[in-house]
Structure 1
């Protein structure tokens, strides 16, 4: 409503979110990293955004009236600091965020910033409450829980239990009646979430509201492979891996064998009807990191699919091969591949911002170990019987029983005594320093489009593009 109200007055309102999935829910939303050119580097090294004073983005920011940042609790405080410093510098205004009205939304019951190799202290140190920005914000709290107003008694009970989970008032959680459906095996979990998948493998609305979530990428990959095997014939896309300037003596086969959560596989197997997640910003706000699609056609170098959910749900899109640079592997290298991964299952962190009609929670090998993960997992649904859970087994008094789930909560976040650890506002950087961290996007060549092309339907245009693309690459 805020965004529409400002835009209806002919003013500029920018909508961003900390995750790609949350961004797709906002009309015209993008990830904060994409919109503000926040560098992809270790958080402690981020000092400013890559926005030059004479750039088109800087001109846009100078006429912007409102910035909305959703899921801000997930954001590392250094990214917010970098934006504040950059806006003050670019707009030549030393007020908070360069004088632009800044609205952020979030829930401290949910997941905090992910710090590689960090623990509780590091997560708290890098959250927004530890920033000098926190004291300058006007805090507005929502006071009415819509779920508690429903006429369904079971919904009210489920909503109250969720609130207690979020603030850590409950101990180990057993999935009894009125709080999730407990299953005994992974196979049963998959069958309950994706029942009748054989007759719905091309049904976008079927997959849009279903997912299995887990804390780790390993468990997510395992579930994705299990469901993928139920599908029909596949097409295999092999990546082209190349060395960086400093590792030209390493054989290509070494790069082919390397994997990373931030990279697609070297040998990517896809079938028509597969559910995929985009792992890079391809065409924001339509296709962001975290957007999900269902595959409708497979070409030599392109995947055709329909977007699942969000503001652009149901639209047909093309996913091309792009070059990605691996930074979190033992050896840096470049991989040209389709930027997608299977997404019948996803990590709990990726699921934040979505609501499902049926959600499976897998906790048999690893429990939720970060603040807010368990609350986020359970709150992806609005009814207790939409949550299907498998926690694994444990031996108690010589008998095996289903394990309770661990709910980790940092109660310091909810106390009024949480102090900022920042001393002062960092020095405003100059344009020259900001440019050191800029991640410039290549200038696209302007193309004159013949008027008759405007009469083509989207379907005909896509057919023409695919035909030309296949002809151009027939010699590969």
Structure 2
């Protein structure tokens, strides 16, 4: 799912730090991935945009050595059903597009949402405080609408006391004549709910980076205590499994709503059920796949959903029903595969190699402050706390200053010694101002100087 621009930013940084014009500054660079899985997510983009931002469309791809894993060491030779299940998964990820029919050895079919929940979360009433129980189970679905609906169904099964946390919503621009109740009613996949209902034992997912990698976007926790201003819980799975953490309220800004506003709330949502995209990279002992209202709509979603388990009977499927000749039969499942990904001849990598100087000299890049911020935090600026954007700007400025030093121009010195670039007319104007401040200054201001290595105007 890595955007090729992320690796381009890393390449530029490594060349600049090491002072070597070779790829990644001449250092060995190893990355791993599976093109059967979901591609970079481009908001508002479709198939072409996803392929364009894939690493295969980057200048790096042709210079990489590709190694493939060919043996599944988890499978036993006499385990015929799981061998067949693994082979079906590979076909699902690379070749079978359009409607697909799952065989009897490909998961367990159920007849309703209730049966799906009961099969995945069996005996939940006696395990609602058991962290290891929830760590090994999940239900996945393509859309947030279905995810929220089934999450509420499972949440209602708990008999623990409920605590409600209301958010504080305010307009971004001062003087906006909009009632607070309007902001309270707005929802977004990128924001927590205004009215957040939580119980001890609830499974929550963090939807913003708080303290990565421990508390990052996608981390799941089980609530162990509810305080007035913090949620206390234990991490489910991963390197920090079982660690106790505290989640504070933070301020988030809405970007995909009719009116921009800020919401101060705990950055969490229920996570008994999650979207397929969020489940990528996680493994479960029992996983349900819900496809009754919406089918998978982008490359790799169905493959990712079905490969969250290692045994064929650990996958529970519910695809809904439809009528054929007045007889109700299970709906066929739609699989979306971009076959161009597996055809190397269909890709023409862009010539987007960073512009550099001669070999052996420090690289020079045409990079503005806005470009530096986008490379450091792609699609994340303004979506986190206010402080995050400020940090990004400070970091981008430091990078620009360092690039200036590499090119023989200390941009920091430009700010601390502005008189270095003052013209004679400006000095005369300053002298005349000392003699009579009431006189109007008609001296033309000097044009701002440009730093060749940066390609944008610097302050003078």
Same fold (TM over 0.5): yes
Q: For the Cα contact (< 8 Å) 2:96–2:337, is it kept in 1?
A: no
Partner deviation per Cα, 1:273-319 (whole Å, 9 max, x = no partner) = 00000111111121111000000110011111000000010111111
- CA shift at 1:376, angstroms? 0.6
Q: For the Cα contact (< 8 Å) 1:164–1:170, is it kept in 2?
A: no
Q: 1:449-468, aligned counterparts within 5 Å?
A: none
Indicate the residue corresponding to 2:72 in structure 1.
145
- CA shift at 1:404, angstroms? 1.6
Once residues 147 and 397 of structure 1 are traced to their aligned partners in structure 2, the CA distance between those partners, rounded to angstroms, is 43
Indicate the residue corresponding to 1:108 in structure 2.
35
Is residue 2:308 matched to residue 1:373? no
Indicate the residue corresponding to 1:281 in structure 2.
209
Partner deviation per Cα, 1:140-167 (whole Å, 9 max, x = no partner) = 1112122444542211111111111111
User: Which one of 212, 218, 228 corresponds to residue 300 of structure 1?
Assistant: 228
Indicate the residue corresponding to 2:237 in structure 1.
309
Q: For the Cα contact (< 8 Å) 1:175–1:182, is it kept in 2?
A: no
Is residue 2:92 matched to residue 1:165? yes
User: Which one of 266, 272, 275 corresponds to residue 194 of structure 2?
Assistant: 266
Q: 1:10-159, aligned counterparts within 5 Å?
A: 74-149=1-76, 151-159=78-86
Is residue 2:310 matched to residue 1:382? yes
Indicate the residue corresponding to 2:253 in structure 1.
325
Is residue 2:275 matched to residue 1:347? yes
Partner deviation per Cα, 1:77-104 (whole Å, 9 max, x = no partner) = 2222233234334544322233443221
Q: For the Cα contact (< 8 Å) 1:89–1:431, is it kept in 2?
A: no
Is residue 2:114 matched to residue 1:197? no
Indicate the residue corresponding to 2:325 in structure 1.
397
The alignment covers a number of residue pairs equal to 370
Indicate the residue corresponding to 1:60 in structure 2.
none
Once residues 300 and 112 of structure 1 are traced to their aligned partners in structure 2, the CA distance between those partners, rounded to angstroms, is 40
Structure whose CA Rg is larger: 2
Query: TM-score, structure 2 length as denominator?
Result: 0.76
What secondary structure sits across from 2:140 in the alignment? strand
Partner deviation per Cα, 1:114-153 (whole Å, 9 max, x = no partner) = 2223222222122111111211222111121224445422
Indicate the residue corresponding to 1:360 in structure 2.
288
* 5+ residue gaps, structure 1: 1-73, 444-476
* 5+ residue gaps, structure 2: 356-364, 377-388, 395-460
User: Which one of 223, 238, 242 corresponds to residue 150 of structure 2?
Assistant: 223
Once residues 303 and 218 of structure 2 are traced to their aligned partners in structure 1, the CA distance between those partners, rounded to angstroms, is 20
- CA shift at 1:326, angstroms? 1.6
Query: TM-score, structure 1 length as denominator?
Result: 0.74
C-alpha RMSD of matched pairs (Å): 2.0
Indicate the residue corresponding to 1:335 in structure 2.
263
Once residues 113 and 247 of structure 1 are traced to their aligned partners in structure 2, the CA distance between those partners, rounded to angstroms, is 39
- CA shift at 1:433, angstroms? 5.6
Stretches (4+) displaced over 6 A: none
Once residues 402 and 433 of structure 1 are traced to their aligned partners in structure 2, the CA distance between those partners, rounded to angstroms, is 51
Once residues 203 and 239 of structure 1 are traced to their aligned partners in structure 2, the CA distance between those partners, rounded to angstroms, is 29
Q: For the Cα contact (< 8 Å) 1:86–1:429, is it kept in 2?
A: no
